Amino acid sequence: MKILVPTKRVPDPDQPLLLNATGTAVDLDGVPSIINPFDAIALEEALRIREEDRAANGGEVEVVAVSIGNTDCEKELRIALAMGADRAILIKVESAVDPWVVSGLLKALAEKEQPDLVLMGKQAVDDDCNQTGQFLAARLDWPQATFASKLEFVDGGRIRVARETDAGTEVVSMPLPAVVTADLRLCEPRYASLPAIMRARKQPLEELSAAELGVDITARVEVLEMETSNPKRECVRVGSVDELIEKLRGAGALPR
């Protein structure tokens, strides 16, 4: 069984963000990066599927991590390898990508790699789109299960997934191959420390380009301008409940 885990490199959410000179993108210079937390959860789940033999195939599971971006992504791929992924693929793209481009690249890769399952985070904590997994499933014409909080393998090459929805926890089942996007509650990712990362350094990374995959990387969504909103908070003392409500409505925090 092969599980493909897209792992996106995102800036560390703890770091205060500054914009670039033109205000069209975040200035990532000097900002530490991490694997998108939801992708790390997906990767952890894939690793556990292998370690716990949940697919009941003797643990014969290949976990392949894939990142899309420039060579900076190699760091996150090494961490994925350090956590336990068997292979790591970098699809080299220099320009900014959106869910459409990413899903196109992943689709081409999936057609090449023929995984049984694509397991990825429900959204990336930088763009917060929550679209890529769904786009990929549609384009592959595979069933999808988003916001997964539990993943089980059942007989007949099917999976049963518990999903976190507004209505509560929904359980669906579907045949493989499928796309599953991970929610926070799926599992807790393991910590990859330096020894593991150093071991991973010896493993080769595979590189592909968009051209090799035959994918057009024109984005459908363009960011026109950005503004940051992490100013220092100045605590305003209010004197009454009425004043509090008024201030909160004014700040757009409460619906009118």
Partner 1 sequence: MDELTREIYGNIGTVSKIVFYLCAVASVAVFAWGIWRRRQMWRIGRDDGERIDWRATLRSFCTKVLSQRTVRRTKRKAGKYHAWLFYGFVILFIGTCLIAVEEWSHRLLGTDGTNLFHKGLYFVIYEIVLEAGGLLFVIGCAWFLVRMLRKGGGDTVGYRKADLWLIGSLLVIGVSGFVLEGMRIIREATPSPGISFVGWAVSRGLAVLGFRQENVSWPHFLTWWFHSLLVFAFIASLPFTRLLHLVAGSVNLCLVRKKLGRMVPISVEELEASGKTGVEHLHEFTRTQLRSLDACVACGRCTDACPATEAGQPLSPMAIVQDLRGHFNVIAPLVQKARRAGTDPALIATPRKLHGDVISAESLWACTTCNACYDVCPLGVSPVDLITDLRRFLIGNGELSGPPAVSLQKVQRSGNPWGLPARERFAWAEGLDVPTVKTRPDFEILYWIGCSASYDRRVQKVARAVVKLLDLAGVNYATLGPEERCTGEFARRMGDEFLFQEQADSNIEVLRRYAVKKVITHCPHCLNSLKQDYPQFGGDYEVVHHSVLLSQLIMEGKLKVNPAKTGPVTFHDPCYLARVHGTTDEPRRVLAAAVGADALKEMPRNRRDTACCGAGGGRMWFDDEPAKRVGRGRIDEALATGAETVAVGCPFCLTMVGDGLKAAGSTAAVKDIAELLADAIGD
Partner 2 sequence: MKILVVLETQGDALRQASRCAITLARSAAEAAGGAEIEIALLGANLAAASVAASCYGPVFVLDHDSLAEVTADRYAAAVAEIARARGTDLLIAASTSQAKDGIARAAALLDGAMVSDASACAARDGRLVWRRRMHAGSVLAWVAAHGSPVVVTALPSAFSPAEPSAPNAITPLAIDVAALPSAIRFESVSVGTTGRPDPTEAAIVVSGGRAFKTAEDYERLIGGLADKLGAATGSTRAAVDAGIAPNENQVGQSGKIIAPNLYLGIGVSGAIQHLTGMVHSKVIAVINTDEEAPLLEYADFALIADAYEAIPELIAKL
Q: Which of residues 121-180 bind partner 1 (CB under 8 A)?
A: none
Alpha-carbon distance 178 to 159, whole Å? 9
Candidate list 83, 119, 120, 161; residue touching partner 1; CB under 8 A: 83
The alpha-carbon radius of gyration of the chain (Å, integer) is 20
Local structure of 79: helix, strand or coil: helix
Candidate list 39, 44, 76, 116; residue touching partner 1; CB under 8 A: 44
Q: Judged by CB under 8 A, does residue 29 bind partner 2? A: no
Q: Judged by CB under 8 A, does residue 34 bind partner 1? A: yes
* Residue 7 binding target from partner 1, partner 2, none, CB below 5 to 8 Å by type: none
* Residue 175 binding target from partner 2, partner 1, none, CB below 5 to 8 Å by type: partner 2
∠ CA(38), CA(42), CA(45), 5° rounding?
135
Give the total of residues touching partner 1 (CB under 8 A): 21
* Residue 241 binding target from partner 1, partner 2, none, CB below 5 to 8 Å by type: partner 2
- Is residue 16 a contact partner of residue 33, using CB atoms and an 8 Å limit? no
Alpha-carbon distance 81 to 197, whole Å? 7
Q: Judged by CB under 8 A, does residue 29 bind partner 1? A: no
Q: Judged by CB under 8 A, does residue 198 bind partner 1? A: yes
Q: Judged by CB under 8 A, does residue 254 bind partner 1? A: no
Given the complex with partner 2, which of 19 and 196 has the nearer CB atom? 19
- Phi/psi at 199 (nearest 5 deg)? -60, -40
Q: How many CB atoms lie within 10 A of CB 39?
A: 30
- Is residue 88 a contact partner of residue 206, using CB atoms and an 8 Å limit? yes
Contacts with partner 1 by CB under 8 A lie at 12, 14-16, 32, 34, 44, 82-84, 188-196, 198-199
